Amino acid sequence: MNRERNIKRFEELMEQVDRPGKDALMRYIRNSDFYTAPASTKFHLSCEGGLLQHSLNVYDALLGHAAMAYPPDEVDYEDILYTVAYKTVIRIHKETAVIVALLHDICKTNFYCTEMRNQKIYKPNGSKRDNGGRFDWEQVPFYTVNDKNPYGHGEKSVMMIEEFMKLSMEERYAIRWHMGMSEVQNINTFNQACEKYPLVLLLHMADQEASHFMEDQTDNKEEYQDKEETCCQDSDPSDTGFQEAEPIG
């Protein structure tokens, strides 16, 4: 994972969004921990820069559906066609694809914190021994959730974005429902939302495809890695109003 390259790509994609409040939103993002936060505490991309990588993965997964709708050399990324059984269900403007994919998990900004815990580290010269071999107890960092604004998950992302920039109804619905049926009591409402705005189902699928097929615990799976990468670092999570949401998805 090349975090610096991911930041550049994220910023370039967001450049394509031409909407009042976008610049203020970007200032918020740059001053938050969005570029350094993990995507989860221990599941997919539980590592520095994981949330940023996941957001880009969801964008790629979403665009992957567009690629299926066109011959490979005729992909028109200005408008993304979501097709089912060879018929177009919706035509999505690129700006909408960028917004819903890159910002769907903005609720995870200022949501995680790091704590230390003891862990057995196995090594040949460890001072202790058990069935696994020689080891030492060492302090290692791990992510925990510190939800300072318990407003939900998708709904919180919508709320946070709209503090700065207006969303269309379709975008609101897609981001609010991107976790799909994981909220069991809301299955009927989710199904209704999918029928009203097919983008709801498309973003949910892209989110699932990214976390199940593209991502491992600390990086993308090998076939989805950026081959030219080096490394990443630095973080400056500054204190802004928002914090929170759900650990996975």
Q: Which residues bind Fe ion (CB under 5 A)?
A: 105, 207, 249
Q: How far is the CB of 86 from Fe ion (least distance, A)?
A: 28
Residue nearest to Fe ion (CB): 249
Rounded to the nearest 10°, the torsion over CA 10, 14, 16, 17 is 160
Q: How far is the CB of 123 from Fe ion (least distance, A)?
A: 36
Pairwise CA distance, residues 33 & 30, whole Å: 8
Q: How far is the CB of 35 from Fe ion (least distance, A)?
A: 16
Q: How far is CA 93 from CA 12, 67, 151, 243, in A?
A: 17, 14, 29, 30
Q: Which token pair is 66? A: 């567009």
Which CB atom, from 48 or from 246, has the smaller least distance to Fe ion?
Answer: 246
Q: Describe the crossing of helices 94-103 and 169-176 by its angle, rounded to 10 degrees.
A: 30
DSSP code for 220? B
CA distance 75 to 206: 18
CB of 14: closest distance to Fe ion in angstroms? 17
Looking at the Cβ atoms of 128 and 221, the one nearer to Fe ion is 221
Closest among 118, 107, 120 to 40, alpha carbons compared: 107
Nearer to Fe ion, 38 or 249 (CB): 249
**Could you tell me the two tokens for 125?**
């010269």
Total residues belonging to the chain = 249
Query: Of 2 and 53, which CB lies nearer to Fe ion in the complex structure?
Result: 53
Query: Measured from the CB atom, is 198 or 249 closer to Fe ion?
Result: 249
Is the Cα dihedral 215, 218, 222, 228 positive or negative? positive
- Going by C-beta distance under 8 Å and a sequence separation of 6 or more, which residues neighbour residue 30? none
Rounded to the nearest whole angstrom, what is the least distance from the CB of residue 246 to Fe ion in the complex?
Answer: 6
- CB-wise, 92 or 106, nearer to Fe ion? 106
CA 162 to chain centre: 18
Q: Which is nearer to Fe ion, 116 or 181 (CB)?
A: 181
Least CB distance to Fe ion at residue 179 (A) = 5
Q: How far is the CB of 208 from Fe ion (least distance, A)?
A: 9
Strand partners of residue 144: 113
